[in-house]
A and B are shown apart, each in its own frame.
Chain A
């Protein structure tokens, strides 16, 4: 199994530009999570999906952020317009259940730099 795949691994963009981060979860997993990690705020859950449906997006910082999961094998996190304070490492994780089975498998992350 290839694990969770994220692309791109690094993204450098200018303020105001649209940024799209992509994630392919592990086949068979039915939950998908987007996290943001910064030195100041640590690891933050942005949004999570179960069976392709957004369940909790309370962690999405503002309307500039949006996430979609059109099918079980693909998700995107979009920032439009991007701002320097969005610079962070964004992780996607997938899992196959809650509670006892709530082991999440993380991708390698996308390091975003907004100039």
Chain B
């Protein structure tokens, strides 16, 4: 079964600094990869998804992620953090024929003024 590992359960950044959230997947074939964001007291919302069309994927709110097959990684970045980026972020993976998403443990981002 597919799985993802998110490195770091908590990331703290200064406003305006780079945000980097790490995600590695376990698969011998390129899976479908997703990043979701959860704001306090809300459900999860899709940030972006990798579907093999392009290795660099742009999402909402200025986030992007790069698929690196050689590193089995799908790290999420944003060049300049904003206070509104404070949330929990989940990486998820799906097989081609699977309706299920396997979620990582999540990374909580705090943004310092």
Q: Residues of A at under 8 Å CB distance from B?
A: 4, 31, 33, 42-43, 45, 48, 50, 55-56, 91, 93, 95, 97-100, 102-109
Flag if A43 contacts B34 (CB, 8 Å). no
Flag if A109 contacts B98 (CB, 8 Å). no
A31 CA to B99 CA in the complex, in Å?
Answer: 8
**Interface residue ranges of B26-63 to A (CB < 8 Å):** 32, 34, 36, 41-46, 49, 51
Flag if A100 contacts B51 (CB, 8 Å). yes
How many interface residues does chain B have, given as a range?
A: 20 to 34
Flag if A56 contacts B100 (CB, 8 Å). yes
Flag if B99 contacts A43 (CB, 8 Å). no
Given contacts A50-B99, A55-B99, A95-B99, 11 further A-B contacts (CB under 8 A): A43-B44, A43-B103, A48-B100, A93-B43, A99-B95, A99-B98, A102-B98, A103-B34, A104-B101, A107-B43, A109-B43
A95 CA to B45 CA in the complex, in Å?
Answer: 13
How close is B98's CB to chain A, nearest CB, in angstroms?
6
